[in-house]
């Protein structure tokens, strides 16, 4: 009787992320892919929590995480290990994009919020063109014949609309700059590079530097450190609604700045 000796199962759990990526690049396979995906589930959760205000009216956290896992699995096959881009950055953009696409398809933004956001945009653009600088909240509120406290409440509600509109603006400019829509091994043809080309990154960086110090801090903590508004509020020692106001103001200014610089 001949005993069949089964090959010993590799203990992927003891491998580092780098070793696991190298192994997957050599061998591929569903088991390796699933192990890699498990390593990055925390990113899905972090982004989902950070952007919970975007989807809370039409989806649950678990729904977003489930969709995010699919994004991670897909991103693993599209990621080039030899590019100078971390997978965490690579996949975070895709998860954010997935959530934004879901929100856009739901058309969840109330009509009054859209109207108020447009009016604020028009007022900001008018005052910017007139003075050559971004208007203060007080100046914009006065132009709209609106008490400052009411203006700040309206601005807070329009916060998520500004986030989506800025993302759509950046996406639109990227499409105008480059027509490549599929992954490529050419570094300069990667969708991420089309999205944030050297010229556009410079404009965005200039726009961020034009913001107030507290706005720059909030933008950095939100997008670079990927903290939620609640966590940022704890870091800065202010209320969560105040962070929302600062964030919406910064996004609105960036949107106006980019629209004036990128034609």
Q: Where are the domains of the chain?
A: 16-106, 111-261
Q: What is the pLDDT of residue 160?
A: 60
pLDDT computed for residue 156 by the predictor: 67
pLDDT per position in the chain (263 positions), as tens? Answer: 444 444 445 677 778 888 889 888 888 888 889 999 999 999 999 888 877 777 877 888 899 999 999 999 999 999 988 877 889 888 988 898 898 888 777 765 667 777 887 788 788 878 878 887 778 888 888 999 988 888 877 776 666 666 665 665 555 555 454 433 333 334 344 444 444 456 667 777 888 888 888 888 988 888 777 777 778 888 888 877 778 778 877 887 887 787 777 65
Domain 16-106 indexed as CATH 1.10.1740.10: yes
Domain 111-261 sits in CATH 3.40.120.10: no
Is the pTM value of this prediction over 0.85? no
Question: Could you write out the DSSP letters of every residue in the chain?
Answer: -PPP-PPPPP-GGGS-HHHHHHHHHHH--HHHHHHHHHHTHHHHHHHHHHTHHHHTTT--HHHHHHHHHHHHHHHHHH--TTSSS-HHHHHHHHHHHHHHHHHHHHT-S-HHHHHHHHHHHHHHHHHHHHHSSPPPHHHHHHHTT--HHHHHHHHHHTHHHHHHHHHHHHHHHHHHH----S--SSGGGSHHHHHT-HHHHHHHHHHHHTS-HHHHHHHIIIIIS---HHHHHHHHTS-HHHHHHHHHHHHHHHHHHHHHH--
pLDDT for residue 126: 85
């Amino acid at each position: 009787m001949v005993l069949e000796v089964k090959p010993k199962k590799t203990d992927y759990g003891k491998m580092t992320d780098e070793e696991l990526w190298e192994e997957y690049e050599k061998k591929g396979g569903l088991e390796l892919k699933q192990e890699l995906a498990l390593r990055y589930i925390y990113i899905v959760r972090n982004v989902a929590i950070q952007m919970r205000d975007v989807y809370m009216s039409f989806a649950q956290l678990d729904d977003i995480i489930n969709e995010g896992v699919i994004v991670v699995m897909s991103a693993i096959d599209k990621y080039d290990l030899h590019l100078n881009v971390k997978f965490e950055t690579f996949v975070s953009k895709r998860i954010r994009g997935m959530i934004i696409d879901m929100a856009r398809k739901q058309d969840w933004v109330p009509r009054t919020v859209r109207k108020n956001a447009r009016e604020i945009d028009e007022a900001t653009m008018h005052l910017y063109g007139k003075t050559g600088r971004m208007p203060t909240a007080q100046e914009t509120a006065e132009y709209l014949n609106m008490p400052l406290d009411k203006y700040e409440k309206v601005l807070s509600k329009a916060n998520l609309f500004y986030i989506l509109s800025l993302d759509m603006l950046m996406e639109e400019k990227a499409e105008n700059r480059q027509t490549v829509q599929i992954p490529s091994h050419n570094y300069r043809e990667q969708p991420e590079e089309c999205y944030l080309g050297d010229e556009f990154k410079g404009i965005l960086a200039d726009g961020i530097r034009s913001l107030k110090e507290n706005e720059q801090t909030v933008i950095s903590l939100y997008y670079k450190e990927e903290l939620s508004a609640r966590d940022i509020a704890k870091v800065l020692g202010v209320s969560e609604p105040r962070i929302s106001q600062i964030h919406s103001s910064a996004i609105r200014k960036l949107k106006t700045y980019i629209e004036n610089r990128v034609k």
